[in-house]
Amino acid sequence: MALNQITPFLHVPDMNAALDFFCETLPFTLRFRESNYAYIAFGNAAIRLLEEPGRALTSDGKARVSVYIDVPSVDQLHAQLRERLEKLSPDRVEPIMDKPWGQREFQVRIPDGNWLTFGQPAAVS
């Protein structure tokens, strides 16, 4: 049996702030929302958001999860989002770069402190 897609659940402290970030700063589209739940999508990637205002981060304050989204052209996506990403504080965006593990990627820290990474295989030199 083949899988259709993986849609991780992200627990966010403020649904409106999360939707604003994902759908205004990043290119996600709201597909469904009811109460403290929302389903957003960007191409074949989807994320389920669950608002939990009282949920604490890990005791050390570090992110719990990183979601990786493979894209056909990370440079094109980064260029498309450049103006929006420049509005974020520097600690919320890792610039696009080739990584030692063979991926070209950039990361964005989402409102709950976790990372969302966009990437593709790096060009072989």
Closest CA to 95 of 104, 76, 40, 61: 104
Q: How many CB atoms lie within 10 A of CB 110?
A: 24
Between residues 18 and 57, the one the model is more confident about:
18
Q: What is the per-residue pLDDT for 60?
A: 62
DSSP codes, 8-77: -EEEES-HHHHHHIIIIIS--EEEEEETTEEEEEETTEEEEEEE-TT----TT---S-EEEEE-S-HHHH
Domains of the chain, CATH where assigned: 9-52+66-121 (3.10.180.10)
Beta pairing, strands 45-51 & 9-12: parallel
Q: What is the per-residue pLDDT for 86?
A: 95
Q: Which residues pair with 51 in a beta bridge?
A: 12
pLDDT greater than 70 at residue 120: yes
DSSP codes, 59-98: TT---S-EEEEE-S-HHHHHHHHHHHHHTS-GGGEEEEEE
> What's the pTM value of the predicted model, to 2 decimals?
0.77
Q: What amino acid is encoded at 74 in this protein? A: V
Q: What is the per-residue pLDDT for 58?
A: 62
